[in-house]
Structure 1
Amino acid sequence: MVVLADQHRWRAVELQRGGVMRQGMRSARVTTFTSEPGHILWPTLARARSGQVVLLSSCEGQKIRRWDMLTGRMLWCSADAWSANALAVASPPGGNPVVAVATEDGVVRLDALTGAELDGHEMAADDTIWDVATGLLPDGRAFIAGAGHCGFRVYRWDAATGEPLGPPLVGHTTCVKAVTAITLPDGTALIASEDEAGRILRWNAASGQPYGNPIHGPGDYNMQLVSLALNDGRVMLASLDMNGTLSRWDAVTGEPIGPLMRPGPETRLACATAAGGGVLFIAPYGGPIRLWDAVSDEVLGAPLPGTGPAALSCSDGSVSLATRAGDTEMTVRRLVDPPR
């Protein structure tokens, strides 16, 4: 089923707020499925090193579930329930992908193929971890980074073993709420973390050394930080605070990219790289999802139904988008940017 854009209605809305709209991305629904009552589907999408797609769902106090993206069949359900603040997927070399679960009592690792909890080192069990991110070090090892509450610390672990990669990273002066992993064009792996006051710090993921100067964002009680590879070779950091102020930065230089955007409060953010460039997916709690060009601020056609976007870049230039509708329904779409 192809979702057609209501171009005239959306153009009128965007002209009122000063935006520019270009031809929208074409959207084809892959599948829609429903979980059992009581399990709210907040989606997470990731790609393992093998190329397989990992589609997960979570909710506070609920078990983690993995789903087949094409059929909607549940592949596994975790044995235990956690107050999961965030999920991420790491790909250790030579092993199964690992799901990192940020909880009120540190980080839990699950085998992404079976859902079984993995043994290993305690991972910040005495701290609340608000967010997790995963990446690859230059030597090929996969790592997990966590945003800590106590002591305003940022953690990093070997994804395969759970062993710390060094002491916690310090420098924030208030609670760290968000973290993202970045691979620069020269292969350098970075961790970027943001605290409640909107201050972003960057670190070399391998050495733990600070990278560049702090970025002082304009946000108030920052909640989300994502990174996005742009087609011009730059890497963007996009930050969204609780009041709906979105700011964008060059991950290397720390310089702003474009003006502030104000999509509104209680908004969720995702991003992906498409054939036509970087795309931001922005949705209020009740939806719908709006698509923006990450650099030019152009609106990419009409909004899509749903909320809680999770986006994944595909090798053919398309984007997989998982969204929530209601409490138990999830839809996966494939988005294709039309030729210019």
Structure 2
Amino acid sequence: MSSERFSGEVLSSADAAGWEVQWTTRWSGRDLATGQPVEAPYQFGYAGTVTAVATARMLDGRLIAVSGSWEGPLRVWDLATGRQIGDPLTGHTEWVTAVTTGMLDDRLVAVSGSWEGPLRVWDLATGRQMGDPLICHSHGVAAAATGMLDGRLIAVTVGVGDDSVRVWDLATRHVIGDLLNAHAGQVNAVTTGALDNRLVAVCGTWEGSLRVWDVATGQEVGDPLVGHTDKVNAVAVRVVDGRPMAVSGSDDRTVRAWDLQSGEPMGDPLIGHTGDVNAVATGVLNGRPVAVSGSDDGTVRVWDLVASRQVGDPLTRPVGMVQAVATGMLDGRLIAVSGISDKTVQVWDLASGADCTGSAGGFPRPGHAAGIDAVTSGVLEGREVVVTGSQDATVRMWDLRSGEPVGDPLTGHTGAVECVTSAVVNGRLIVLSGGADGTVRVWNPATGEQVGEPFTGHPGPICALATAVVDGRLLAVTASTDKIIRIWDVSAGEQTIRPRADQSRRVHGLAVTTFDGRPSAVVGTRQGGLRIRDLATNRDTGPRPTPLYGDPVWKIAATTTVDGRPIALTSRQYGDPVTVWDITAGRAIAQLQASAGEALAAAVVDGRPIAVTGTLWTAQVWDLNTYQQIGSDLSFPRPVTAVAITPAGHLIICSEQHITVLAATPTPQQGVVEPESTCGSGRLG
């Protein structure tokens, strides 16, 4: 995991839903400077395979990325915050094959080409297209690059299927050169650079060679650079030790470096990729020139251009081929931006993986090594903290405001941590965790130490854990796969009453509430109904609501209505709805047309009861007075696994190893969707 305020997908969906992302975390990767594991990329959601990407620095100093995809529109991203800037740049209707940037009339512009034909120029400050599209070639644009020639911004474009390479003055929109001469086959890639004070275009061809052209004269410079045994897909140029160098990537799965003055290879081929190399870029990492490459094998690799060796381990994603790569400097650190076939744009910290905090972005900080199954919150020595339990068998704490880790991981469980909750004893915060090892452990988060011996007795994993104060004692209520509910005196570290079992009912979830003024547990049954368990006697009490479905209750949460009535929410493992129950009356009173097979929480915030539901890649927030959704869906790039609501109204949403903390803007009261809207939820009878 790592710290980022992560996906542009999350940020944009949160904005639309009326929530502000305060911080998030992200996936693991490796520090390319040291080769050690660090937390890794943050990513931006996209609707199609990302096929082109470029970086640039805005006039106000912000580092941005411009990306294009199979779907056509370009998107612009602020790399420090992870937010999309403005609306998509629409105009292209097919596969965007090239994106590059430059300065035109003192304005930062993006230049893009696509399979359907035209070259388009975009003012990145306004998000508007400048002038009409340029019809550069008879079919489409296969590749494009920009450069400065005699103070003018020019574009070098490669035609699709017609072997043409042309030079355009972007101010006048006129062709000023044609580099078609002497190319034996179709050009597949192009970049520009300086050679002996001349602007040159370096072209990669289908037959595997690189050719260098003087852009001003249209003449080829030197002989073709021969070495690749298959199509050249990408080229980049960098000055190394005062000498201009070209870097190329090919379908032969190698990266090669070339001395442009001598025309000779520099070092041996860089071997490591197991798929076609689709993209290359260059930069400086720890004072050494490097190349960054992306491949069909799903990896991004970094290469030391002086030593001719790979730096660190490859950066990998679970799925997806790397189609595009660009580099840039963010806060003094080299980053790589990669476009992936899994419809994401990733940003990798290539320097140190050091923490970089901020309200909507950032770089890696330590985190869980596996998915998060449980989350809660509390106040530790005056500051609000998030507490998470993970499949990596640890409990971790995070500062709610900044996302900084608080203390070291709490270790002791020998299996996944399935449940966490917090409580206050003698004015101090304690944390309780239940694990797949069948134990419940009590922690002093101020010292990071376990308090007493683990609670043992359940032979199977702890499925549910909650706390309540009964007759002045803090009690913990636990349920396991053994179908037994146990009640523990937390201070004494022992069970208060002989446990009771009901062999016909496996408990999947429980929550603490009050019934007739007595602390009670609401227990979900395998048949889909509820039972009320008196915590003083460990016996069932009150009505048993009639199950609405044959499916087991999977998740359960409890809170109160505005007039103080206790209510419970239950979800099924598969499908919707979420049912709202009046505990006192013993009947279902409403349904939320939401799935909450993985995560469910409820609380009263500013006098208003709300709920959060989570399943797959979506979380939703609900007003429990109107039973309507608040705002729109919150989207995440990984399945939602745990949710919580703090007393102040922050939402804590975990998606696999990620944590996202959101604050309401506007408040939930202002963001309520009116009952007549088509949310698909409603009251029962």
Give the TM-score, by structure 2 length.
0.39
Are the equivalent residues in 2 in contact too, given 1:79–1:116 (CA < 8 A)?
A: no
Q: Structure 2: how far apart are the matches of 1:41 and 1:293?
A: 26
1:115 equivalenced with 2:180 (yes/no): no
> 1:233 — aligned with what?
287
**Residue 158 of structure 1: CA displacement?**
0.9
Give a deviation string over 1:60-89, Cα, whole Å, max 9, x none: 132001111111222232134443222111
Q: Structure 1: how far apart are the matches of 2:143 and 2:41?
A: 33
Are the equivalent residues in 1 in contact too, given 2:214–2:220 (CA < 8 A)?
A: yes
Q: Structure 2: how far apart are the matches of 1:239 and 1:95?
A: 31
AA partner of residue 278 (structure 1): L
Which of 201, 205, 208 is equivalent to 1:144? 201
AA partner of residue 261 (structure 1): L
In the superposition, relative to structure 1, how do residues 22 and 108 fare at CA in structure 2: closer, same or farther (>3 Å)? closer
Q: Structure 2: how far apart are the matches of 1:229 and 1:49?
A: 27
AA partner of residue 310 (structure 2): P
Q: Structure 1: how far apart are the matches of 2:289 and 2:96?
A: 30
Which of 95, 102, 110 is equivalent to 1:47? 102
Are the equivalent residues in 2 in contact too, given 1:90–1:98 (CA < 8 A)?
A: yes
AA partner of residue 140 (structure 1): N
Q: Structure 1: how far apart are the matches of 2:344 and 2:210?
A: 33
> 1:61 — aligned with what?
116
In the superposition, relative to structure 1, how do residues 120 and 51 fare at CA in structure 2: closer, same or farther (>3 Å)? same
- Count of paired positions: 295
> 2:309 — aligned with what?
255
1:20 equivalenced with 2:26 (yes/no): no
Q: Structure 1: how far apart are the matches of 2:355 and 2:40?
A: 4
Give the TM-score, by structure 1 length.
0.75
Once structures 1 and 2 are overlaid, which stretch shifts more, 247-256 or 82-91?
A: 82-91
> 1:168 — aligned with what?
224
AA partner of residue 165 (structure 2): V
In the superposition, relative to structure 1, how do residues 121 and 256 fare at CA in structure 2: closer, same or farther (>3 Å)? closer
Give a deviation string over 1:207-266, Cα, whole Å, max 9, x none: 312222222233311111111233x32121111111312211012221211101222323
Are the equivalent residues in 2 in contact too, given 1:225–1:239 (CA < 8 A)?
A: yes
Are the equivalent residues in 2 in contact too, given 1:127–1:149 (CA < 8 A)?
A: yes
> 1:270 — aligned with what?
326
Q: Structure 2: how far apart are the matches of 1:40 and 1:303?
A: 29
In the superposition, relative to structure 1, how do residues 161 and 75 fare at CA in structure 2: closer, same or farther (>3 Å)? farther
**Residue 147 of structure 1: CA displacement?**
0.8
1:153 equivalenced with 2:172 (yes/no): no
In the superposition, relative to structure 1, how do residues 197 and 297 fare at CA in structure 2: closer, same or farther (>3 Å)? farther
Are the equivalent residues in 2 in contact too, given 1:20–1:299 (CA < 8 A)?
A: no
Are the equivalent residues in 2 in contact too, given 1:291–1:303 (CA < 8 A)?
A: no
In the superposition, relative to structure 1, how do residues 272 and 31 fare at CA in structure 2: closer, same or farther (>3 Å)? same
> 1:192 — aligned with what?
247
Q: Structure 1: how far apart are the matches of 2:301 and 2:221?
A: 30
In the superposition, relative to structure 1, how do residues 85 and 36 fare at CA in structure 2: closer, same or farther (>3 Å)? closer
SS of residue paired to 2:118: strand
Gaps in structure 2 of 5+ consecutive residues: 1-10, 13-19, 30-36, 43-78, 363-685
Are the equivalent residues in 1 in contact too, given 2:92–2:114 (CA < 8 A)?
A: no
1:220 equivalenced with 2:275 (yes/no): yes
SS of residue paired to 2:152: coil
> 1:208 — aligned with what?
263
Q: Structure 1: how far apart are the matches of 2:239 and 2:222?
A: 19
Q: Structure 1: how far apart are the matches of 2:326 and 2:215?
A: 23
**Residue 293 of structure 1: CA displacement?**
0.6
Once structures 1 and 2 are overlaid, which stretch shifts more, 219-228 or 38-47?
A: 38-47
Are the equivalent residues in 2 in contact too, given 1:258–1:295 (CA < 8 A)?
A: no
In the superposition, relative to structure 1, how do residues 107 and 299 fare at CA in structure 2: closer, same or farther (>3 Å)? farther
Are the equivalent residues in 2 in contact too, given 1:142–1:159 (CA < 8 A)?
A: yes
**Residue 125 of structure 1: CA displacement?**
4.8
In the superposition, relative to structure 1, how do residues 250 and 123 fare at CA in structure 2: closer, same or farther (>3 Å)? farther
AA partner of residue 328 (structure 2): A
**Residue 154 of structure 1: CA displacement?**
0.6
Which of 185, 192, 196 is equivalent to 1:127? 185
**% identity of equivalent residues:** 22
In the superposition, relative to structure 1, how do residues 69 and 25 fare at CA in structure 2: closer, same or farther (>3 Å)? closer
CA RMSD of aligned residues (A): 3.3
**Residue 7 of structure 1: CA displacement?**
4.0
> 1:79 — aligned with what?
135
> Which one has the largest radius of gyration?
2
In the superposition, relative to structure 1, how do residues 299 and 173 fare at CA in structure 2: closer, same or farther (>3 Å)? farther
Matches within 5 A, 1:26-41: 26-27=81-82, 30-36=85-91, 38=93
AA partner of residue 269 (structure 1): V
Are the equivalent residues in 2 in contact too, given 1:178–1:193 (CA < 8 A)?
A: yes
> 1:308 — aligned with what?
none
AA partner of residue 120 (structure 2): R
1:88 equivalenced with 2:145 (yes/no): yes
Are the equivalent residues in 2 in contact too, given 1:144–1:156 (CA < 8 A)?
A: yes
Q: Structure 2: how far apart are the matches of 1:276 and 1:240?
A: 23
